[in-house]
Amino acid sequence: MPIFDARDIISNDPNNSTDYIIGDIHFNLTTLNYWNYTIYGNGTISNGSWCFLTFEPYIPTLLYPNGSFVNSTWCYTPVNPIGTRGKVGVAFAVLFAASLVFTLLNLTRHGKLYLPVTKRFAPIGRRWQWYWAIFVAVAAMIGLFTGVDVDRYYLSSIPIVLNNFFWYLLQMGTMAIVWEAVRHWGSWMERQFIDPNPFVLQQTDKRGMFELLIPLVFYFWVWLNFFLIIPRNWGNLELQRSDEQTAMFAEPTATDGRFKAATFCLFAAWLTILISLMHSLHHYEQRGRGFLNRMIGGLGYMPFRFALLLPISLAVVAYQGLAAWDFSLSPMKQETNYVAMYVGGYLPALLIVFIQNIAGFMRQNEDKALIQQRRARGATLDRELGIVHKPAWWKRVNGEHSEGGMRNAILRNVREVGGGRATGQNVEAAAATRAREAEVAENAQPIEMNEIRRTNSIASSIRTGATAPPPYTPYSGRSDQRRSDRTMQAAAGLLFPNSGSATTSTAATTTTTTVDRGRRTNVSPGTQQRPGTSERSNSTQSGVSLDGQPQQIRSMLDV
């Protein structure tokens, strides 16, 4: 590719129409016009696709026939020194980085579990405020460090877009921190409320349904704020290379209706936080009489950090609205009011993160606090019942400590109760005891008064004059089946001692007669007497009604 020096081919007369002088260097005007280059008053030359700097020390020296320059400098290059935006931004970024370390420590401190997990209070609920604090710190550091390139770039470009993109994400994350802090405080109050009695607060009542749905309302408003701001064409924000271009493209974009509507959505999210706090105070605080007394009591009952977080978070909403209406105070303007930008845009988020971290170090892990409350309630109940527990050193001094773990303790309990074939042994022992008691009751000498017999014994179920069951002889063989049969027979004999003899004697002495109406009954030849308590009557012993022919009804008189 041929290369030429402009000073070699252009006439020495600077007033001719064939050259253009840039910093004492002559360029072929025909070539510049052919490639549609335009010289701008801000020290750049551009054809819409290429842009180069035209001031010292960045003036190009050679020109190719294809329209490219030699020793040129791209317009979107960080050639300027760091300005006020970059210096203050780095200081804020360092503070956010320090807060990130404290946030991770608090996440470990409060996210650790010391009690079993329950479905009603998931562990992630207490961690969300720290997750959002991490998100805010990361978004702030990215946006603030890109602010350095906003100052250093000669022409505004992608750094100012990134700076504002992450600043808006920081605003949403800051509101989410305050929301999760308030919501989780209400959840912690509920957890303490139901710990002594899990049924004192229901999950399906109005209170429970309100607490279930209000997070959806808050995140709906935050999502609307995100949807109105983030998905857009951010390219017009880069067009701040001259005052005319800024007024024509950048300012209308930064103050359009979507940014203004997003401010109202963020304010609605702040109102949702306030309503959630009032709901928690209404249900979990000690109520006083009168509106003023209840308001003062609520301010004293809620954590002090909420008295700081709510006004600061409202300042976040206020500055976002101010930036949407006044472009001169907006962070989207390249040469903006830096006091308003950092005091209204970044300082509230930094204060909220640090307040949360300080309060986190001052609070105890919730599981540990709940364990202490349970111990205090147990000690109170012991004092009311008069129970005095031995001190912790008592077992160590007196040797009353278990060895071998839970397995050995269970084995010791089993040996104390009894193991092996316990069922068969206990049945045999009970049958032998019943047999001995029956034999003693049968051979007892009469006394003047009625016989006194043990209740719930075999003697109490034997009719007067009946024979006692035979003595039980345990089976000594090796057959488990036969031992089981013997045991069942002995148990049946003890439970129903007269069933076999009564049935046999009755069957031998009874006759069958037929009544006129076709019913068959068993009639004893002797005098009918009321059977004993444990003896079946003739009606109960008869099975004719089940085995005989059905009754034939010949007329209505037979019914």
Residue 121 contacts residue 186 (beta carbons within 8 Å): no
**Residue 2 in this model has a pLDDT that exceeds 70:** no
Residue 13 contacts residue 44 (beta carbons within 8 Å): no
Q: Would the pTM of this model clear 0.85, i.e. be above it?
A: no
- Here the tokens at position 520 are 């068959």
**Residue 6 in this model has a pLDDT that exceeds 50:** no
pLDDT tens digits, one per residue of 467-514: 555 565 666 666 777 777 877 777 777 666 655 554 444 444 444 444
Residue 53 contacts residue 79 (beta carbons within 8 Å): yes
**pLDDT attached to residue 516:** 45
d(CA 309, CA 315): 10
Four-way CATH pick for 84-376: 1.20.1070, 2.60.40, 1.20.120, 1.10.8 = 1.20.1070
pLDDT tens digits, one per residue of 133-145: 999 999 999 999 9
**pLDDT attached to residue 400:** 57
Q: Residue 451: enclosing H or E segment and its boundaries? A: none
pLDDT tens digits, one per residue of 34-72: 888 888 888 888 888 888 888 888 888 877 777 778 888
**pLDDT attached to residue 318:** 96
Query: In the 8-state DSSP scheme, what is residue 332?
Result: T
Give the number of residues written for the chain.
559
One DSSP character per residue, 148-194 reads: HHHHHBSS--HHHHHHHHHHHHHHHHHHHHHHHHHHHHHHHHHHHHH
**pLDDT attached to residue 551:** 58
**pLDDT attached to residue 308:** 95
Give residue limits of the domains in the chain: 1-75, 84-376
Q: Which residue has the higher pLDDT, 288 or 255?
A: 255
Q: Which residue has the higher pLDDT, 532 or 29?
A: 29
pLDDT tens digits, one per residue of 215-236: 999 999 999 999 999 999 999 9
**Residue 537 in this model has a pLDDT that exceeds 60:** no
- Here the tokens at position 27 are 């360029």
**pLDDT attached to residue 22:** 77
Secondary structure of residue 354 in the 3-state scheme: helix
Residues 6+ apart with CB under 8 A from 355: 305, 308, 309, 312
**Residue 348 in this model has a pLDDT that exceeds 80:** yes
* Cis preceding linkage at 116, omega within 30: no
d(CA 164, CA 170): 10
**Residue 9 in this model has a pLDDT that exceeds 90:** no
**Residue 331 in this model has a pLDDT that exceeds 90:** yes
Residue 111 contacts residue 365 (beta carbons within 8 Å): no
**pLDDT attached to residue 509:** 44
d(CA 558, CA 547): 21
In Å, how far are 33, 50, 70, 243 from 30, measured between CA atoms?
5, 17, 18, 30
* 48 burial type by CB count under 10 A (0-12 exposed, 13-18 middle, 19+ buried): exposed
